[in-house]
Structure 1
Amino acid sequence: MTTVRMVPGRAAAAGKAGAQDVSAVAAVVQRLAVLLEAGIAPPRAWALLAESGEETAAAIVAAPPGADTGDLLAARGGAWAEVAVAWRVAATVGAPLAPSLRRFADALREAQETRDDVAVALADPAATARLVGWLPLVAIGLGFVLGFDVLTTLTQPAGIACALAGLGLMFVARRWSRRLVARAQPAPGLPGVQGDTVAIALSGGVSVDRALEVVQASGGGDTEPETGDVLDLSERAGAPAADLLRATSSDARRRARTEGRLGAARLGARLLLPMGLCTLPAFLLLGVGPMLLSVLAGSGSLLPLAGPPGALP
């Protein structure tokens, strides 16, 4: 077998997959697979889906005669671009379309479940960081409620210094927290999808080299390292490459789910740093500091805060 070129990266359209409801796409593909298994021709199957109000199916039905279905799917963007790759591969190698689409729909659904689990795990620490970030400003309102002359205090030199320092720390805390949350987000794209696409090509009875060539020509991107390793293992062991690829893709999605949950757990601990080093000092500077200065000014300890020199408190 020709040496597999292992270059990281996916097709550019795969990066948009997270912006679309992949589960909805998977449901449409699943229904299409069922119609095809029932013996309905692809054009009629798309027409039936269009009659039920499916927008992508309606766009395909409304396309000029002879338009390539793969191109029409790719134009929809998001997860449909991944479906377009699978469709083109199956059509090129002559793989059974219905079972290929059914397995691919399961892969899309599993990948979206992984992203959903990670998003749910990240929701709590991210929301906590946003809420805590506003506490310093809440402290100012608390000073007004308790009857302190916070506004006057904040217009004096010492109060202005507290306000500027507190607002600066709030800004740093928010930027720091956002960066931590962004780094904990799952990578764009759907994990393990390329392996499932190569498996579709192999199910058409073509060689490994031909399968990789078709996948790349169909928009599936360069061969990922994990896909290349599985194909090399299959060649050495004499095991079915398609089954190994599907198993490895499923493992990749489970691994992404586990790593996402671990990342969310680590995020909760890491967010304590901006909270402790920035938000808490900002709370003291914007809340406790002005109230303390107000008390001192009212007691005559800081006459410049209360009025001009010589004025009685």
Structure 2
Amino acid sequence: MTTPRRPAVEDVADAAGRLAVLLAAGVPPGAAWGYLSESVDLAETTGDARRCLTVTDAVIRAAAGAAQRGGDVPRAIAAAADAAAPGTKHRSTRRRNTDVQEAWRGLGVALQVATESGAPLAEALRDLASSLRDLGQTQRDRETALAGPRATARMVLALPAVGILFGAGLGFDTLHVLVATPAGLSCLAAGAALLLAARAWNRALLRRARPRQRMPGLAIEVVAVAMTGGGSAPGALRRVADACARFDLAPPDPAAVDSVLALAQRAGVGTVELLRAEAEQARRDARSSAQATSAALGVRLMAPLAVCVLPAFMLLSVAPLVMSILSSTLHGM
């Protein structure tokens, strides 16, 4: 039984949490990054054959080097994430690389905003680590919810092959009929075209079921970080929007922030906690949306099954079997 792959965002959450602990203990930022880099070096020299250099390892090393030189740590983080997660033709690997890039860019935005606004860096990183872990759990729930529809899509595509083997097991030369007779070749071409269409259709349905926003609520969480520095709400929103633009991330929704600010003014309560509650609600909504989407996907996958896979099953399995039976009967006569 394979173990589900750990969401890449949780690696970033671990790094942010460890950095927050070190900073809260009074360790300077440059030294804290250095300790994290030493941990990477130590893990790499333990001789564990199952472990290889990850994107997170490369980013931590780059950030430690920039911090020790007094350079731009957030920019070094973004550059290292892009360099360590190159493009690939494999869809799942490319998607995971994009996830880890966006997670590290989110950390870079939080570091820049906390530094510019004067917010306590250790507290900001601790809050960010907590939100990233929530996002990781949301991704786990989403992958679990989509596991059933994916398995269904793979299973129905195997039906024609099972039918061919079943016919051969009964003693009929269905494979010979498919590849050595004109009628069989016609069935083979039509059935293969239908299977290719079903495969493309299934992939399109699975692709549409994936969320467009990989890290819901993170930008609003960073606005809360900016406001802990004592700045005004418009200034915090502008600062976060500028940082998101610098790191090529989606900016916070001004309408959502404005609604929270209006509620805080009417109720006379703290804006920061309301913003964090709004970010948490966005993550809960994303989790519920993933569950609803996966339930609907299970029904939508019946369309390619009925339109493409079942006709392909008839062409590739039933028709050759019938032709083989008729050929044997006529030959026996």
Q: TM-score range by the shorter chain?
A: 0.7 to 0.9
Could you give the per-residue CA deviations for residues 235-263 of structure 1, whole angstroms, max 9, x where no partner exists? 44443221111001001101110110111
Could you give the per-residue CA deviations for residues 144-180 of structure 1, whole angstroms, max 9, x where no partner exists? 2322122342232322232222222212211111111
Consecutive unaligned residues in structure 1, runs of 5 or more = 1-18, 301-305, 307-311
Distance 1:217 1:169 in 2: 49
- Are 1:30 and 2:54 an aligned pair? no
| Aligned pair partner of 1:158 in 183, 200, 216 | 183
- Are 1:269 and 2:269 an aligned pair? no
Give the conservation status (yes or no) of the 8 Å contact 2:114–2:124. Answer: yes
- Describe the shift of the 1:212–1:110 C-alpha distance in structure 2 as closer, same or farther (beyond 3 A): same
Partner of residue 290, structure 2: 260
Distance 1:223 1:59 in 2: 28
| Aligned pair partner of 1:186 in 207, 211, 235 | 211
- 1:20 is displaced (CA, Å) by 6.7
Partner of residue 91, structure 1: 115
Distance 1:223 1:188 in 2: 12
| Aligned pair partner of 1:219 in 244, 256, 260 | 244
| Further displaced range: 180-189 or 217-226 | 217-226
Distance 1:87 1:292 in 2: 69
Q: Which has the larger radius of gyration?
A: 1
Partner of residue 59, structure 2: 56
Give the conservation status (yes or no) of the 8 Å contact 1:194–1:227. Answer: no
| Further displaced range: 114-123 or 277-286 | 277-286
Give the conservation status (yes or no) of the 8 Å contact 1:118–1:186. Answer: no
Identity of aligned residues (%): 42
SS in 1 for 2:69: coil
| Further displaced range: 21-30 or 68-77 | 68-77
| Aligned pair partner of 2:323 in 276, 293, 300 | 293
Which letter does structure 2 place at the counterpart of 1:111? L
In the TM superposition, what are the counterparts of 1:232-251 in structure 2 within 5 Å?
232-251=262-281
Q: What is the aligned length?
A: 285
Give the conservation status (yes or no) of the 8 Å contact 1:216–1:222. Answer: yes
| Runs ≥4 residues deviating over 4 A | none
Distance 1:108 1:87 in 2: 14
- Are 1:76 and 2:100 an aligned pair? no
Distance 1:228 1:112 in 2: 27
Give the conservation status (yes or no) of the 8 Å contact 1:112–1:190. Answer: no
SS in 2 for 1:52: helix
Q: Which has the higher contact order (CA 8 A, sep 6+)?
A: 1
| Further displaced range: 21-30 or 277-286 | 277-286
Give the conservation status (yes or no) of the 8 Å contact 2:160–2:312. Answer: yes
In the TM superposition, what are the counterparts of 1:125-204 in structure 2 within 5 Å?
125-154=149-178, 155-204=180-229
Which letter does structure 1 place at the counterpart of 2:264? S
Which letter does structure 2 place at the counterpart of 1:244? L
- 1:60 is displaced (CA, Å) by 2.3
Q: Give the aligned CA root-mean-square deviation in angstroms.
A: 2.0
Distance 1:244 1:172 in 2: 48
Which letter does structure 2 place at the counterpart of 1:143? G
Distance 1:253 1:222 in 2: 16
| Aligned pair partner of 1:43 in 30, 48, 51 | 30
| TM-score normalised to structure 1 length | 0.85
- Describe the shift of the 1:152–1:93 C-alpha distance in structure 2 as closer, same or farther (beyond 3 A): closer
Distance 1:132 1:104 in 2: 42
SS in 2 for 1:128: helix
Consecutive unaligned residues in structure 2, runs of 5 or more = 1-5, 41-56, 82-100
| Aligned pair partner of 2:312 in 282, 289, 303 | 282
- Are 1:112 and 2:136 an aligned pair? yes
Distance 1:188 1:231 in 2: 23
| TM-score normalised to structure 2 length | 0.80
SS in 1 for 2:13: helix
Give the conservation status (yes or no) of the 8 Å contact 1:170–1:282. Answer: yes
